[in-house]
Amino acid sequence: MLTIGVDIGGTKVAAGVVDENGAILENALRPTPADRPDLVAETVADVVKELARGKEIEAVGVGAAGFVDETRSIVRFAPNLAWREEPLQKKITELIGLPVVVENDANAMAWAEARFGAGRGESHLVCVTVGTGIGGGIVIDGHLYRGRWGMGAELGHMQVVPEGRLCGCGNLGCWEQYASGNALVRETREIVANQPERAATLLGLAGGTIEGEEVTEAARQGDEAALAAFAAMADWLAQGLADLAAILDPGRFIVGGGVSRAADLFIDRTRETFGRVLTGRGHRPVAEIRLAELGASAGLVGAADLARRR
């Protein structure tokens, strides 16, 4: 039987027909009606109907950034789409007449990696999605861990610096303010402001505002400021992973998300620092840190598989 996975992003809704091996047989895209969050359910229904034509579809899994309740029906709060207590599952079910499961997008990605990607063969996983912020998913004993209210694994919001940088969540010093793509850019801008002489290459490339792409390109060309920012990000990432290892003791970490495309600039240092700061080091196995394998389609593949196992 086939299921359809849908990934609701801030700019596009990506959907695909997925088989039991995690293969995408057909896919489709729609722009997200970001200024009309009440119309997202219609957009999802529309894309699902298009994909379902002529096929037997068992269920639909929908991944969305935000806090999804423990019944996997209601998006309590979504930072990108201004949803508050959005009954997404009910709305979509009414429009398409198929069983629907709603899941946090980072949980869906983690599940896809666990089943079909970098997590295969390991039952205890922590998946960290490093993009503009940090998302997380935890698999314990082969099961996705959601917490009591469905809101577990918001790893980006562990406080790593008391009274630290202000986070979008309203707290201070969250991990994603130090180890994400946004943090990388912010760190770079600070170095450039204080020591422009270290950023000659970067300033030549950026010609105005510094964004993630320029930081990555400058680092590849050996720019000192960009490399220093990557090193800082790598160390913060490693420290957070070490804290997670202290709590969860996973066999493997999976690092994905947009920033992992520049993994050659930070992953070795992350592994090295992780080994140095891990509690009990020298007296325990050191969890592997691997890169995600499924790329941007992980969210929809995971949502589709979770719908299959609803």
Task: Point out which residues bind Zn ion (CB under 5 A).
Answer: 157, 167, 169, 171, 174
CB nearer Zn ion, residue 61 or residue 66? 66
CB nearer Zn ion, residue 168 or residue 258? 168
Q: How far is the CB of 166 from Zn ion (least distance, A)?
A: 9
Q: How far is the CB of 157 from Zn ion (least distance, A)?
A: 4
Q: How far is the CB of 226 from Zn ion (least distance, A)?
A: 25
CB nearer Zn ion, residue 179 or residue 265? 179
Q: How far is the CB of 79 from Zn ion (least distance, A)?
A: 10
Q: How far is the CB of 174 from Zn ion (least distance, A)?
A: 3
Q: What is the DSSP string of the chain?
A: -EEEEEEE-SSEEEEEEE-TTS-EEEEEEEE--TT-GGGHHHHHHHHHHHHHTTS-EEEEEEEESSEE-TTS--EEEETTTTEEEE-HHHHHHHHH-S-EEEEEHHHHHHHHHHHHSTTTT-SSEEEEEESSSEEEEEEETTEEE--TTS----GGGSB-STT-SBPTTS-BSBTHHHHSHHHHHHHHHHHHHH-GGG-HHHHHHHSSS--HHHHHHHHHTT-HHHHHHHHHHHHHHHHHHHHHHHHH--SEEEEESGGGGGGGGTHHHHHHHHHHH-TTTTSSPPPEEEE-SSGGGHHHHHHHHHHHT-
CB nearer Zn ion, residue 100 or residue 160? 160
CB nearer Zn ion, residue 79 or residue 280? 79
